């Protein structure tokens, strides 16, 4: 926020600077109105063409924590591929990416098959990232209300037929007052236990925010340092079929937890 700004409008204005004058800018559909206004004003000022993705230009079958099966094209010329990104919001990103691909295809820079191959190979570390194992880990660096609302909407579908636990840690830059109602909804999204942790860079102690979950106190457990918390969760859930541990709340927690989980997995 020190570099980009503190409001959607300020951040959007800064990020719009990525586009060169007289170029083309592809905009996703999920942009707050204040940010969109700032981007459009900047585009007009610098003669930038705006392109928006076409909605419903592909069909999708959810594969749960494995991602999505996507079919695009006409019935006579279908193309089907796997998008290995988890979460319904990734489909908005796919639509935006496809609009960019279509521009590149029209200029003969890439072809359709190259675009499909690229999408099928994409990975996004720490953003609804699945690390398979016993248990399965799903890591998401949601640390603001907008992101937490999205994962809350998706969690019940992803958790279907699974035993779910949430490992949550917050950082000193989190606004607890803003996050409180969203974290409560996250805890209520699916039957699960919520484990609070700390010990990662810029973490705050769970005692500072455990009261957020006052209506779910019987399900909330404090485990302390994130490494010992992960060890504890492995001991609890490793023998349970279809267990899923969801790690979220802080970019710093997700980064540290990811390194530790992969270290454990690789022996």
Question: For 200-216, what is the mean pLDDT?
Answer: 87
Same-domain pairing of 88 and 213: no
Are the beta carbons of 201 and 252 closer than 8 angstroms?
Answer: yes
Q: What is the largest CA-CA distance in the chain?
A: 60
Q: What is the structure's pLDDT at 23?
A: 95
**Residues ≥6 apart with Cβ < 8 Å to 46:** 19, 21, 22
Same-domain pairing of 114 and 145: no
How many Cβ atoms sit within 10 Å of the Cβ of residue 245? 25
Phi, psi (rounded to 5 degrees) for 142: -60, 125
Domains held by the chain: number:
3
DSSP 218: G
Given a cut of 70, whether residue 5 has pLDDT beyond it is no
Domain for residue 2, yes or no? no
Q: What is the structure's pLDDT at 254?
A: 97
What mean pLDDT value characterizes the chain?
Answer: 89
pTM given for the model: 0.86
Q: What is the structure's pLDDT at 3?
A: 62
Question: For 8-28, what is the mean pLDDT?
Answer: 87
Domain for residue 232, yes or no? yes
Same-domain pairing of 98 and 154: no
Same-domain pairing of 215 and 137: yes
Same-domain pairing of 141 and 209: yes
Q: What is the structure's pLDDT at 238?
A: 93
Same-domain pairing of 260 and 142: yes
- 73-89 pLDDT, tens digit each: 766 567 889 999 999 88
Same-domain pairing of 146 and 112: no
Q: What is the structure's pLDDT at 217?
A: 46
Are the beta carbons of 84 and 120 closer than 8 angstroms?
Answer: yes
Same-domain pairing of 175 and 239: yes
- 32-64 pLDDT, tens digit each: 888 899 899 999 999 999 998 876 678 899 999
Given a cut of 70, whether residue 120 has pLDDT beyond it is yes
Q: What is the structure's pLDDT at 215?
A: 62
Q: Show the domain range for 25.
A: 8-51
Same-domain pairing of 171 and 260: yes
Question: For 179-194, what is the mean pLDDT?
Answer: 86
Report the distance separating Cα 186 and Cα 149, nearest Å. 8
Domain for residue 169, yes or no? yes
Q: What is the structure's pLDDT at 55?
A: 64
Domain for residue 92, yes or no? yes
């Amino acid at each position: 926020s020190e570099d980009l700004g503190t409001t959607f409008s300020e951040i959007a204005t800064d990020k719009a600077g990525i586009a060169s004058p007289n170029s083309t800018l592809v905009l996703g559909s999920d942009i707050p109105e204040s940010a969109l206004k700032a981007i459009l004003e900047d585009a007009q000022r610098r003669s930038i063409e705006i392109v928006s993705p076409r909605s419903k230009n592909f069909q999708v079958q959810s594969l749960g924590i494995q991602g999505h099966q996507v079919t695009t094209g006409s019935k006579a010329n279908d193309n089907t591929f796997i998008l290995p990104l988890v979460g319904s919001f990734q489909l908005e990103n796919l639509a935006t990416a496809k609009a960019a691909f279509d521009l590149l295809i029209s200029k003969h820079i890439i072809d359709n098959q190259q675009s499909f191959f690229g999408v099928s190979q994409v990975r996004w570390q720490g953003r609804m990232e699945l690390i398979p194992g016993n248990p399965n880990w799903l890591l998401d660096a949601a640390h603001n209300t907008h992101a937490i609302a999205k994962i809350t909407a998706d969690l019940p579908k992803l958790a279907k037929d699974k035993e779910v636990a949430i490992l949550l840690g917050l950082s000193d830059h989190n606004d607890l007052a803003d996050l409180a109602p969203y974290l409560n909804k996250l805890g209520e999204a699916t039957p699960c236990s919520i484990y609070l942790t700390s010990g990662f860079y810029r973490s705050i102690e769970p005692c500072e925010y455990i009261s957020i979950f006052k209506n779910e106190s019987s399900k909330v457990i404090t485990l302390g340092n994130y490494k010992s918390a992960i060890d504890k969760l492995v001991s609890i859930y490793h023998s349970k079929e279809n267990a899923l541990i969801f790690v979220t709340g802080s970019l710093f927690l997700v980064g540290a937890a990811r390194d530790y989980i992969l270290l454990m997995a690789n022996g």
